[in-house]
């Protein structure tokens, strides 16, 4: 599938909401708050990057958000990846990989220090993410707290996401 990754445009917002809801509908670790998180980040002006994957006919296939995080050890220039969503009927065709890779490249171009996420190492290891027991998030098992260091040192301690992540479903 040929996929273009580009920043979201105002006309994409409804499609992003719908695909985020659909992608997380049957996800075990999701709570259906993900579309509200994306909206909240946008309203707060806290979406450092909001990228869409576009396929044939300009159809929106997927979306990823990146927003600033703070980490207890005080390093600056760190961002959180997520939510990331691909329409269920478009999954497993490389769209999610293109979104994550495109976002990380843009973060590096901005001079980011690194990126964190909460997710499955089976998907994120390919981008260079790894876990570090020194980095924590609300008692989540260490393997799901992933980080990619772009500019050392690696941060330590508890990660704090933007308040929009507290959105209730």
Please give the residue ranges that form the binding site for ligand COA (CB under 6 A).
23-24, 27, 84-86, 91-97, 119-120, 122-123
Minimum CB distance to ligand COA, residue 87 (Å)? 8
Could you give the CA distance from residue 131 to residue 133 in angstroms, rounded to a whole number?
7
Residues in a beta bridge with 131: 146
Cβ-based nearer residue to ligand COA, 91 or 160: 91
Minimum CB distance to ligand COA, residue 69 (Å)? 15
Cβ-based nearer residue to ligand COA, 96 or 103: 96
* Burial 63-87, CB ≥16 within 10 A → b, else e: bbbbbbbbbeeebeebbbbbbbbbb
Cβ-based nearer residue to ligand COA, 70 or 97: 97
Report whether 147 contacts 132 (CB < 8 A): yes
Minimum CB distance to ligand COA, residue 85 (Å)? 4
Minimum CB distance to ligand COA, residue 74 (Å)? 26
Cβ-based nearer residue to ligand COA, 126 or 153: 126
Residue with nearest beta carbon to ligand COA: 96
What does the DSSP assignment read for 37-98?
HHHHHHHTT--SEEEEEE-GGG-EEEEEEEEE-EETT--SSEEEEEEEEE-GGGTTSSHHHH
């Amino acid at each position: 599938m040929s996929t273009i990754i580009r920043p979201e445009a105002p006309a994409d917002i409804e499609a992003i909401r719908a695909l985020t809801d659909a992608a997380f509908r049957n996800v075990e670790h999701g709570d259906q708050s993900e579309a509200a998180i994306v909206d909240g980040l946008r309203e707060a002006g806290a979406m450092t990057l909001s990228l869409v994957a576009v396929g044939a006919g300009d159809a929106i296939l997927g979306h990823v958000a990146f927003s600033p995080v703070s980490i207890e050890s005080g390093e600056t220039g760190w961002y959180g990846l997520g939510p990331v969503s691909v329409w269920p009927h478009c999954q497993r065709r490389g769209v999610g990989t293109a979104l994550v890779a495109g976002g990380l490249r843009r973060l590096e171009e901005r001079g980011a220090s690194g990126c964190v996420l909460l997710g499955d190492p089976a998907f994120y290891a390919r981008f260079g993410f790894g876990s570090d027991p020194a980095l924590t998030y609300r008692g989540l098992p260490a393997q799901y707290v992933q980080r990619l260091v772009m500019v050392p040192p690696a941060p330590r301690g508890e990660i704090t996401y933007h308040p929009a992540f507290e959105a209730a479903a």
